[in-house]
């Protein structure tokens, strides 16, 4: 059972309005004043202000002037950080299809989104303001959907029509052939001068991935498969790839660092093989020079609630605090190719904020407010105090 306050807090949070979040946030300026800011992209600011307008951050810093007429929140004694970015999950999706490895780049998670699931509401309560929902199936699984967890329709959940291409890589002859045949077919289209838009949806997705216009998430079941994947994708140098897999990726950290790979691993400590010795895989990867970000241990509401608790465990086991916060915010956004609008408190980015009554990594801290694109969507209910 979860012991972190976020777990208990979700039971005390309220849905702030019955209507779904509008597509466009209110245009009035909102100011959170006097809080300690954790921008993630820079050093913490002991006392600063965040300005929001039109769903975007317009300023964040120590010397920000609040314009006349702004809606002002006194955040003295609070801590504000960016909303959590979950870069790999199947929360709320249907079962994974079975069968042989296949190439299905035209499959879009966006086509099965249902915004009113309780699991998305609970994820938002836990501070997860962005979810990357991934397709299943061995081979080229399809296109992920990078979403806000609250909207009126499935399409309104999407931050972009195009999501990362997902490849579930199998180090088998059939698995490699399914992926290679599809990618080579798309390469030929590009050589012949054909490119998006104007192609069918399948070729469109493949060409965008090959040229690096669309990020690619390559899932590998373990270090062995990863060692097959690294040379396999050398033939596709323009692809922007993030490798996704278990914590044991740390065992091939040197190989990952040599090719400047980016990886996603669970936000949790693991065990060295055949021992009871704890290993901080995220720290091992980071110290080797690998770009590393984290996703929740499981596709469950409790795992989402515990993601900051797990980040705190990683810090206690030697991961620098700034690296832990980045791994679940800006680093996760970078892994998806969405760091231009998510993951840090910077002007121009989506105003996704979490307001705590103390250090976000402290087990005694409460999440008091969740702001999604400039609108407060959850706040702690005052239960008779």
Give residue-wise pLDDT tens across range 22-46.
444 456 899 999 999 999 999 999 9
Can you tell me the distance from the alpha carbon of 161 to that of 265, in angstroms, rounded to the nearest whole number?
Answer: 26
CATH number of the domain where residue 252 is located: 3.20.20.140
Counting the structural domains of the chain, the total is 2
Residue 121 is assigned to a structural domain of this protein = yes
Residue 276 lies in a domain: yes
* 282 within domain boundaries: yes
Q: Are residues 310 and 350 in the same domain?
A: no
> How far apart are alpha carbons 61 and 152 in whole angstroms?
33
| Statement to judge: residues 255 and 162 lie in one domain | yes
Confidence of residue 198 (pLDDT cuts 50, 70, 90): low
Query: Same structural domain for residues 72 and 104?
Result: no
Q: What is the DSSP letter of 289?
A: T
Q: Give the tens place of pLDDT for each residue, 150-171.
A: 999 999 999 999 999 999 999 9
Tell me: do 195 and 74 sit in the same domain: no
Q: Is the pLDDT of residue 345 over 70?
A: yes
Torsion of CA 199, 203, 208, 212, to 10 degrees: -140
User: Do 132 and 107 share a structural domain?
Assistant: yes
* pLDDT given for residue 15 in this prediction: 41
Residue 30 sits in the same domain as residue 173: no
Among 178, 164, 191, 288, residue whose Cα is nearest residue 232: 178
Residue 181's pLDDT band, with cuts at 50, 70 and 90, is: very high
pLDDT of residue 11: 39
pTM to 2 decimals? 0.91
| Range of lowest pLDDT (24-28, 78-82, 275-279) | 24-28
The range of the structural domain enclosing residue 10 comes to: 5-82+346-380
Residues 23 and 114 in one domain: no
Query: 89-109: per-residue pLDDT in tens?
Result: 999 998 777 778 999 999 999
Residue 100 CB neighbour total at 10 angstroms: 12
Q: What's the CATH code of the domain at 73?
A: 2.30.40.10
Q: Residue range 251-269: average pLDDT?
A: 97
Same domain, 213 and 78: no
356 shares its domain with 307: no
Q: Are strands 241-244 and 84-89 parallel, antiparallel or unpaired?
A: unpaired
Distance of CA 346 to the CA centre of its chain: 17
Indicate if the pLDDT at residue 194 is higher than 90. no
């Amino acid at each position: 059972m979860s012991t972190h306050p976020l777990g208990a807090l979700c039971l005390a949070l309220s849905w702030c309005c019955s209507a779904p979040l509008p597509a466009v946030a209110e245009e009035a300026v909102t100011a959170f004043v006097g809080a300690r800011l954790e921008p993630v992209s820079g050093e913490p600011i002991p006392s600063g202000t965040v300005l929001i307008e039109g769903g975007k951050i317009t300023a964040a810093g120590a010397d920000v002037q609040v314009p006349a007429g702004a809606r002002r929140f006194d955040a003295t004694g609070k801590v504000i950080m960016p909303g959590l970015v979950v870069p790999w999950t199947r929360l709320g999706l249907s079962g994974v299809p079975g069968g042989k490895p296949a190439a299905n780049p035209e499959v879009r998670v966006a086509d099965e989104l249902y915004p009113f699931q309780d699991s998305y509401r609970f994820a938002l309560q836990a501070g997860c303001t962005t979810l990357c929902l991934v397709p299943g199936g061995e081979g080229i699984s399809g296109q992920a959907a990078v979403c806000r967890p609250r909207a009126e329709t499935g399409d309104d959940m999407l931050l972009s029509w195009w999501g990362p291409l997902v490849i579930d890589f199998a180090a088998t002859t059939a698995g490699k052939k399914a992926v290679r045949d599809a990618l080579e077919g798309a390469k030929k289209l590009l050589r012949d001068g054909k490119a998006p838009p104007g192609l069918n949806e399948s070729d469109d997705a493949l060409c965008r991935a090959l040229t690096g216009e669309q990020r690619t998430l390559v899932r590998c079941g373990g270090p062995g498969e990863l060692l097959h994947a690294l040379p396999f994708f050398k033939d596709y140098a323009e692809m922007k790839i993030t490798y996704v897999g278990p914590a044991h990726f740390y065992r091939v950290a040197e190989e990952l660092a040599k090719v400047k790979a980016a990886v996603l691993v669970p936000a949790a400590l693991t065990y060295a093989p055949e021992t009871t010795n704890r290993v901080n895989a995220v720290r091992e990867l980071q110290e080797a020079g690998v770009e590393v970000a984290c996703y929740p241990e499981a596709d469950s509401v409790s795992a989402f609630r515990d993601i900051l608790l797990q980040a705190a465990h990683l810090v206690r086991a030697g991961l620098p605090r700034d690296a832990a916060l980045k791994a679940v915010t800006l680093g996760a956004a970078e892994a998806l190719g969405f760091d231009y609008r998510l993951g840090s408190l910077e002007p121009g980015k989506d105003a996704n904020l979490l307001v705590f009554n103390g250090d976000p990594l402290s087990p005694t801290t409460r999440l008091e407010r969740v702001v999604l694109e400039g609108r407060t969507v959850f706040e702690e209910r005052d239960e008779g105090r």
